[in-house]
Structure 1
Amino acid sequence: MAKKQAWVHSSHPRWPSYLFFLIVALSVFSLVAILIYKVDNFASQTKTIVGHNLEPTPWHLFEPKNFTDESRHIRAYKIIQCSYLTCPYAAADGGAQPSELEKRRGLVSSRTPPKCPTFFKFIYRDLEPWFNTRISMDQITQAKEHAAFRIVIVEGKLFVDLYYACVQSRMMFTLWGILQLLKKYPGMVPDVDIMFDCMDKPSIERNRFGNGSLPVPLFRYCTTEAHLDIPFPDWSFWGWSEVNIKPWDEQFKEIKQGSRTQTWAKKIKRAYWKGNPDVQSPIRTELMRCNDSSLWGTEIIRQNWTEEAKAGYERSKLSNQCKHRYKIYAEGYAWSVSLKYILSCGSLPLIISPQYEDFFSRALIPKLNYWPVSSIDVCRSIKFAVDWGNSNPYQAQAIGKRAQQLMQSMSMDQVYHYMFHLISEYAKLQDFKPVPPPSAQQVCEESMLCFADEKQKELLKKSAVTSVSTTPPCTLTRSPNPNFFTAWAEKTQKIIDEVKDMENRTNAAIT
């Protein structure tokens, strides 16, 4: 019997114990490998606010974003962490309780708000195409053809559906600004559904919509008389990391301080422009031909951002560019963020026949806070402005001062007031209840900071709203008579024509 048992044991030898652990290890390794593959695959399909897995906008191509500075696995982890895991925990840890929101709401509504500036009335003109028809979900869907991303606000939370990448960090800083609005006025910003294009040129043409055809609503940074795009404060109000521009309140303070380093009498009696002419801008191309201080009274400088970056932007500080009596504004590929910095200098702004409007440029009045320069024979028109200013120094100085005062009044509080009223009036026109689409992601401060690089983080934190507003937004007056906008445009054009007539008579006398 013992022999038989021994034979049985010998015919079925025991496996070495290490084989069991090897199989377990291989199984775990396989599961981990499958998990990593699945995570990588999921991450490779996730679109992000910084441009992962997003193509440039087809209507304004630019160099695709490169994310090769980190390993594939680290990038995948970051995408998953920032896109899906950050906001739920942030909301759970830091969300305000309903009772607290009610207290804040009561605090805000208990204060008497100031009256909004007159140019806020242009909100009604921008939204006028939808006053009678209202805005349907079908129109929102049609606007997707022109949009880089979609913003949906529901119960104070921000959701974003991503379609195309935006150049540089425009999307990040635009969304950050909206988050700050929600933080500043908790419980007050209505639910809303917005299609947004982050590139330069307007795209919704007025003449395309007629004979019963309904326009599609699209938000962007600028518009023109010939377009229906709805202008919204641009990203640079919260900072511009690529060219080292600080958040607006801080940047304006520095520019104003720089403008005081010289009295008007000691400022250089020439017109100054520094920028990038290589942006498909006919006006800037023409302006480069005016760089002759003795002939045209100008100083035109080509900006090389690559060299400026290498030099730490020391030669491009905006606060150091207020030494001239006259500052030229020339539109770029479309409108340019440089307008607000030029107006801030206290120099006499020379604005060359602008085609585009951003939200605050409607406050500009020729001969009151800027001097109009003709796009026809630009050099001669600039020379006339310089000669006029040097012959009328007190008037020129007063115009420059009023331009600076305009921009001082354009504080970040005022920017948030405009955002609040534009979104609120727009939301009133929507005939549906906004709901985030299934592909949308929630965005919060923590997820933005999670994606941001060190420079971006610095600017985002500097521009963050630190407390809930104790006063409500300014009071928006009721919609004005349509004749208001016609009269405004006619008054502006009349002054421009008067200046042009002065210029023509002077030139005729010289010749």
Structure 2
Amino acid sequence: MAAEGAGGRGGRAARYPPLSALVASAIAASSAVIVLAVVHSAYDDAVSRTRTLLGHNLEPTPWHPFPHAKGRPPARAALRCAPSIACLPPLSRPRPPPEPANASSSSSLSSRGNNNNKQCPAYFAAIHRDLAPWRGAGRGVTRALLDAARRRASMRVTITGGGRRLHVDLYYACVQSRALFTVWSLLQLMRRYPGRVPDVDLMFDCMDRPAINRTEHGGDAAPPPPPLFRYCTTRDHFDIPFPDWSFWGWPETNIEPWNREFKSIKSGARATRWADRVPTAYWKGNPDVASPLRVALLGCNDTALWRAEIMRQNWDDEAKSGYQHSRLSSQCTHRYKIYAEGFAWSVSLKYILSCGSMALLIEPRYQDFFSRGLEPRVNYWPVTEMGMCESIRDAVDWGNANPGEAERVGRRGQRLVQGLRMHAVYDYMLHLLTEYASLMDFRPVAPPSPDAHEACEASLLCLADDKQRRFLEASRAEPAADEPCVLPPPPAAA
């Protein structure tokens, strides 16, 4: 309005400039548009050809869905700086004696020289269930199955040389720095257990929705499905869940590596006693992720009627303000915290459980590797999607009528993720890859593709920006002083 008023005071001449001025302005504007288009095209082309491993050619939103395969940007030369950097082997110690044939399973790995005899957490047993489709006579992981998994994968990862060399062949750019931190996680596993990580060849996808549907590949008589690793699975899919990138940090949302972040959240939780916490349910997140569940959750934002406080998270505003209002350690002030899946699987579950509040889970469909350890009414409280607001209200009313038991449910959830320290994450990775390697019917070699590159810590740090590099360096592993936990063998029926 102010601009319009300023123009009006100039009279008729100001409102109707000479024709020559209009022509000159049009030519200048057209030239500027052409120049900007050329620069933008060149920039897009340059970005798509470099630093793709970090996902810099995507919009900076934590939940950017690809509508279909053709919309996925190409990977191209993502590890461009790697050839100029020597990929040194990880820290080493004397290698263990070679295993006898057919003895590379996790059960033999766990029992070998394990003096502490520490059993793995119960949810580790899901490794056997996840890999069951490839176990048994006439089955196994073949090259043909691996090739079939490629069309769903974002990258192929091979570990060779006795667990000392890692190659990556990228097929499309992952969201943000997911690929960067996922590759880093494997390098840190090799660093923690030098010479113990098996040689493997696997396909990995970095998106949030499983793709290997049981209805297409199920049945005992059917051939095994394509083996595809990702961050989650469901009861209706064969995708193999693997620890997600955020355990090593999520720089785009300012979430620190897991050991640091959990310690910070737990410290924040101690600041408010259970009795002093707000006796309502709390959720803060992004509802604008093509999630009908989260949109419906907005309708429960009434503390008097539904006992719930629902907060919209704007990540763009948070980034501009330095994440001052999104620190997870400051969000443990309510007795109840809600977990609602978004477009698909959500990374937020472990952070919600960390508060020690009673977690209210709204019928989660997706499972990550540790959530198989959750038990309803033991370490979380189930909420139904149908009649969601009423279900939240009933859970809060029950908890406030039974505060001692509600607090114990919250504490048990917190203990579950407290046991999920990085040593447990690495043990899970090691057992999963060792079991997977025992099912392969071929010897892994470095990918023959000219686009495949060897990755090492130096090459990834070269690609990272300052903030990513800080997170990567903060999440470096050290060689393990103890043996991995003991994974029981699979049930005889499996």
Give the TM-score taking structure 2 as reference length: 0.81
Q: Is the 8 A contact 2:79 2:453 kept in 1?
A: no
Aligned counterpart in structure 1 of residue 116 of structure 2, from 97, 112, 129:
112
Other-structure match for 2:145 = 139
Q: Is the 8 A contact 2:55 2:176 kept in 1?
A: no
Q: What does 1:377-456 correspond to in 2, within 5 Å?
A: 377-439=387-449, 440-456=452-468
What letter matches 2:130 in structure 1? D
Q: 1:313 to 1:130 in 2, by over 3 A?
A: same
Aligned length: 425
Gaps of 5+ in 1: 1-40, 67-75, 484-511
Quote the Cα distance in structure 1 between the aligned partners of 2:83 and 2:165. Answer: 15
Q: Is the 8 A contact 1:238 1:459 kept in 2?
A: yes
Aligned counterpart in structure 1 of residue 249 of structure 2, from 236, 239, 242:
239
Other-structure match for 1:7 = none
Q: Is the 8 A contact 2:51 2:463 kept in 1?
A: no
Other-structure match for 2:205 = 197
Quote the Cα distance in structure 2 between the aligned partners of 1:143 and 1:205. Answer: 12
SS in 1 for 2:375: coil
SS in 2 for 1:450: helix
Does residue 482 of structure 2 align to residue 471 of structure 1? Answer: yes
Other-structure match for 2:68 = 59
Quote the Cα distance in structure 1 between the aligned partners of 2:375 and 2:90. Answer: 44
Larger radius of gyration: 1
SS in 2 for 1:334: coil
Other-structure match for 1:178 = 186
Between Structure 1 and Structure 2, which shows a larger proportion of helix residues? 1
Aligned counterpart in structure 1 of residue 176 of structure 2, from 165, 168, 183:
168
Quote the Cα distance in structure 1 between the aligned partners of 2:440 and 2:453. Answer: 22
Other-structure match for 1:24 = none
Aligned-residue offset at 1:281: 1.2
Give the TM-score taking structure 1 as reference length: 0.78
Q: 1:51 to 1:146 in 2, by over 3 A?
A: same
Aligned-residue offset at 1:90: 4.0
Does residue 349 of structure 2 align to residue 339 of structure 1? Answer: yes
Other-structure match for 2:42 = none
Q: What does 1:313-324 correspond to in 2, within 5 Å?
A: 313-324=323-334
Quote the Cα distance in structure 2 between the aligned partners of 1:396 and 1:294. Answer: 20
Aligned-residue offset at 1:450: 0.2
Root-mean-square deviation over aligned CA pairs: 2.8
Q: What does 1:67-146 correspond to in 2, within 5 Å?
A: 80=80, 82-86=81-85, 89-91=86-88, 100-101=94-95, 109=113, 111-132=115-136, 133-146=139-152
SS in 2 for 1:366: coil
Q: Looking at both structures, which has the greater relative contact order when contacts are Cα pairs under 8 Å and sequence separation is at least 6?
A: 2
Quote the Cα distance in structure 2 between the aligned partners of 1:454 and 1:62. Answer: 29
Quote the Cα distance in structure 1 between the aligned partners of 2:255 and 2:74. Answer: 21
Q: 1:113 to 1:446 in 2, by over 3 A?
A: farther
Q: 1:219 to 1:408 in 2, by over 3 A?
A: same
Q: Percent of aligned pairs with the same residue? A: 52
What letter matches 2:68 in structure 1? W
Q: 1:459 to 1:365 in 2, by over 3 A?
A: same
SS in 2 for 1:300: strand
Other-structure match for 1:230 = 240
Gaps of 5+ in 2: 1-44, 60-64, 100-108
Quote the Cα distance in structure 2 between the aligned partners of 1:282 and 1:424. Answer: 39
Q: 1:166 to 1:61 in 2, by over 3 A?
A: farther
Quote the Cα distance in structure 2 between the aligned partners of 1:42 and 1:153. Answer: 30
Quote the Cα distance in structure 2 between the aligned partners of 1:383 and 1:354. Answer: 18
What letter matches 2:183 in structure 1? L
Q: Is the 8 A contact 2:90 2:191 kept in 1?
A: no
Q: Is the 8 A contact 1:257 1:319 kept in 2?
A: yes
